[in-house]
Structure 1
Amino acid sequence: MTTMDTAPTGGRPKSRGSKRAWLFLSPLLILNGLVVLGPALATVYYAFTDWSGLGPATFIGFDNFTRAFADPAVHDALWHNVIWFVLFGSIPTAMGLLGAYLLSQVKRFQVLFRALYFIPYVVASVVNAAVWKMLLSPTSGIGHAMGIDHAWLGDPDTSLLSVNFVVDWHWWGFLAVVYLAAMQGVDPELYDAAKMDGANRWQQFTSVTLPGIRPTVVFLSLMTVIWTLKAFDYIFIMTGGGPAGSSEVVSTLMYKQAFNEYEAGYAAALGLTMTVIIGFVLAGYQYLKRKGWEE
């Protein structure tokens, strides 16, 4: 092998390789900029305009945000987002932790159970929502077969809770599998030490398991907050935000304002507001992470 075949050393070859890497990445970066950055910047602009979605837009300053601040429909949608967060953040997390802990005690067929847990998550949300919409039907669903003819999705008192039940069912298996993977990384010697100290199963779970998987719990809690603010698909498919706005969240309200009411500028303002809220959530997470809260 000659010196020409050997990898050169020094600054210039490394710089040349870096430029070549950026050259190969540039098409993807340009495409990402057009698909993501372009619409994002356009949303910021249109949030300050009166725009129907077609034709020219008229700059109106902060009028859209002032309107949103006083809009009862926005208040109700935000309140439904809060309810959604409480339910979506607590029930699937508790079920996921419990399911993962029970599954960690299983020695045989664990892979099978993990697959069964994961199936609802990998099925398309459109399919899940359509199937559960039929199952919750007052004329042909599970309730009707049991003699309970209640319109779960058509009753304002139960519509949001019913959709949330379906989303919790879809989501908790994913959490269980992720939590199980984190639990398997906890040092077994810690459990042995806890047993020697007389700790029971619950004490082992709270004193060893939870601290050992805290980074995973914190990260998934952050994602839960973000996904709560972005909740759309199941609600839109199963209830459309109804009846009478009883299951309306900000995302479905934005859709209606943009495509039903032709107030795309107002919808952009709502979307920008939710983006700012998510930004504050991410900033809080980074602050707590720097403080070592998840360690």
Structure 2
Amino acid sequence: MALHAQAPPSTGRPLRAEQQRANRRAARRRKARALLFLAPLLGLNLLVVVGPSVATVWYSFTDWSGLGPATFVGLDNYTRAFGDPLVRAALMHNLIWFVLFLSVPMGLGLLGAFLLSQITRFQMLFRALFFIPYVVASVVNASVWKSLLSPTNGIGHALGELGVPWIGDVAFLGDTSTSLISVNFVVDWHFWGFVAVIFLAAMQGVDPELYDAAKVDGANRWQQFTAVTLPGIRPTVVFLVLMTVIWSLKAFDYIYVMTQGGPAGSSEVVSTYMYKVAFSQYEAGYAASLGLSMAFVTALVLAVYQLVRKRGWEA
């Protein structure tokens, strides 16, 4: 009887290789489908973000009115910006705006969040009430407050008729010494409730056992706030400080609606000055250089923030 040689057992390697190739093909198809769905969004971003950004960089090196051809002038616009006294004054107003915008809403937000964290009844109602000014459109808020601060029919005039001294004759938005602070007051009113809700959410994430340990050590409310609450919400504080810097640099809507940078430039910031340069003086190339300069400052702020994060300061 003839003996037949048995075939060696299959190792399965060809099958595994074929399966790996099939998996790679399936992965490529999934990526292609994902890119296909993302294509409209990517195209829209290319059209409305990347394209205008590249155009702004180019026009910042030109003398351009906003219409017609542009003449290349190199760094002349940037040299002019560094020597422009109106730009320096606007930057100073941005700095004042930042100090006020950082201190008042942050202080009121921390206080409001801490007080809300101490109550359990009607907390959602108070959170909603705090948040209402923030959800109202900024143009609506600005228009209403412009009427309220009017020297002829506003709050000050009404209080003056009731006998309250000095306030009846104050033109909050028409006085060079009060215009910027008055607009900033309105923005602080609009913004502090949002900060309070954000801080409250962060406080609710702090471990309650830390408060229990602080109470055992005899810490009072203030000591608990400084030793437990503030360190516990430090990442949120750092993030809001970062956003406050950015929002201060791009402040525009309330100032433009309420004062348009006046009177006599007393509430002018870089954004409103840039708008006037572009659309009133028809110097769009110079306005583009101002915008890119502010974008560069914002990039520096973001770089500092990333450095702070890498060093673990917010942790």
TM-score where L is the length of structure 1: 0.96
Instruction: Give CA deviations for 1:122-158 in whole Å, capped at 9, x if unaligned.
Output: 0000100000000000011111111022110000000
Query: Does 2:188 match 1:175?
Result: no
**Is 1:242 matched with 2:262?**
yes
Per-residue deviation, 1:218: 0.5
Match of 2:77 in 1: 64
* Partner residue in 2 for 1:123: 136
1:158-187: CA deviations, max 9, x gaps? 000000000000000000001100110111
Pick the aligned partner of 2:146 from 115, 118, 133.
Answer: 133
Q: In 1, distance between residues paired with 2:86 and 2:279?
A: 16
Q: Which moved more, 1:25-34 or 1:241-250?
A: 25-34
Please, which of 163, 169, 176 is the counterpart of residue 149 of structure 1?
169
- In the other structure, the counterpart of 2:295 is 275
Paired position in structure 2 for 1:83: 96
> How far is 1:9 from its partner?
7.3
SS in 1 for 2:218: coil
| d(CA) in 2 for partners of 1:188, 1:33 | 48
1:198-209 maps to which residues of 2 (within 5 A)?
A: 198-209=218-229
Give the partner amino acid of 1:192: D
Deviation at 1:46, TM superposition (A): 0.5
In structure 1, C-alpha distance between the alignment counterparts of 2:22 and 2:225, rounded to whole Å: 53
Partner residue, 1:103: 116
Corresponding residue to 1:195 among 211, 215, 222 = 215
Distance in 1 between residues matched to 2:22 and 2:54, nearest whole Å: 42
Shift of 1:10: 2.5
Indicate the residue corresponding to 2:283 in structure 1: 263
Of 30, 54, 63, the residue aligned with 1:50 is 63
Distance 2:57 2:184 in 1: 31
**2:25 & 2:223 partners in 1: Cα distance?**
59
Aligned residues: 288
- 1:217 corresponds to which residue? 237
Task: Return the letter of the residue paired with 2:85.
Answer: P
Q: Distance in 2 between matches of 1:251 and 1:156?
A: 19
Amino acid at match of 2:273: L
Distance in 2 between the 1:223 and 1:86 partners?
Answer: 13
State how far apart, in whole Å, the 2-side matches of 1:193 and 1:9 are.
58
Q: What do the CA deviations read for 1:51-95 (whole angstroms, capped 9, x no partner)?
A: 000000000000001111111100000000000000001110000
Structure 2 counterparts to residues 25-44 of structure 1, below 5 A: 25-44=38-57
Separation (CA, whole Å) in 1 of partners of 2:224 and 2:25: 56
Question: Are positions 1:184 and 2:204 aligned together?
Answer: yes
Deviations 1:201-239 (A, max 9, x none): 011011111111111111111000000000000000000
Q: Give the distance between the partners of 1:232 and 1:68, measured in 2 at CA.
A: 19
Unaligned stretches of 5+ residues in structure 1: 1-7
Amino acid in structure 2 at the alignment position of 1:54: L
**Correspondence 1:253 to 2:244:** no
> What RMSD, in angstroms, separates the aligned Cα atoms of the two structures?
1.0
For residues 310 and 133 of structure 2, the distance between their equivalents in structure 1, rounded to whole angstroms, comes to: 35
**1:4 aligned residue:** none
Identify the residue that residue 180 of structure 2 maps to in structure 1: 160
- AA of the residue aligned to 1:216: T
Measure the CA separation in 1 of the matches of 2:267 and 2:137.
21
Distance 2:76 2:51 in 1: 23
What secondary structure is seen at the aligned counterpart in 2 of 1:73?
helix
Q: Alignment partner of 1:54: what SS?
A: coil
Q: 1:9 to 1:212 in 2, by over 3 A?
A: farther
SS of the aligned residue for 2:191 comes to helix
Q: Distance in 1 between matches of 2:159 and 2:81?
A: 44
